[in-house]
Amino acid sequence: MSKLANETGSLFQLEGHRCVVTGAASGIGRAMTQALLSHGAEVLLVDRDASALAHVLDTTPITQRKRAQSGACDITDAARFQRLVDGFGALDALFANAGVSGGAGFGTEAGRESGMLNAQTMDHWRYVMDINLYGTATCMQAVLPALKKNKGHGAGRIVVTASVAGMQAEPFVSYAYALAKTALVRLVQQAALELAPHDITVNAIAPGFIKTGIANGRLHDEDVAKSLVPRIPLGRLGDATDLQGLAVFLASRASAYITGAVIPVDGGYLLNQKEPSPC
């Protein structure tokens, strides 16, 4: 193997890298955690579901489990999250992934009434924003001292899970979810500008329709899937594992010159301008 091939292969290695993943007990967060561990990273798994966290660790291969720690925490509990981060020590990357759906959007059968604008309550909007936006911002604030201090692997990394619903209007999701994810896109861009002089990159992953347990698992419903697939050029809904390669890339030195980016993982959904179908 040539020297160039060796150097290129090492771009994606994460041995010795220390990462925090929120929402790590299920869905996208769990898939990210698996990818990071399989590439050699040490990972702190954070989720508010303690039993689900324990299950993830129990089902993680022993060789990887040695590099995994966990802490049950609602990310809106800033003090608790800060203690977890401080206890983890040196840090290279944060994957701020935890979030909630906020219910069905007005363009769905399930949200035909509850998803309408006049059915929204400020208490519900605050709940969704507290977790999806302010909770993410809290996590970013908590890791900054450790990221600024630890430059042993080059740039520090912050990776936020946004959504295609933060990039265009999307009737499938709730108002509160769409607003929070749109705000996350701007948060990422603002933070990318501020933190660049500290050698910290900030990027967002924007999933499309990914089959996870969020939104009460509605994307696992066959009728819902059939209504959405025609809008996706690649012809299928996504799986959480479809985000693993990008997660590794954004954690590794292969992405050292990328910051402020919002990267869709949507099967081409944003390219398709067909009228939405009731779902």
Residue numbers annotated as active site: 177
- Helix or strand holding residue 126 (H, E): helix 122-129
Show the tokens assigned to 72: 């049950």
Would you call 34 exposed, middle or buried from its count of C-beta atoms within 10 A (0-12, 13-18, 19+)? buried
Segments of 48-199 assigned E as strands: 68-72, 93-96, 156-161
Show the tokens assigned to 186: 């701007």
Helices 122-129 & 175-195 angle (0-180, nearest 10): 40
Segments of 23-179 assigned E as strands: 42-47, 68-72, 93-96, 156-161
Q: 240: helix, coil or strand?
A: helix
Neighbour tally for 187: CB within 10 Å: 20
Residue 54 identity: A
Cα angle vertex 117, ends 134, 219, to 5°? 70
Segments of the chain assigned E as strands: 18-22, 42-47, 68-72, 93-96, 156-161, 200-207, 210-211, 238-239, 262-265
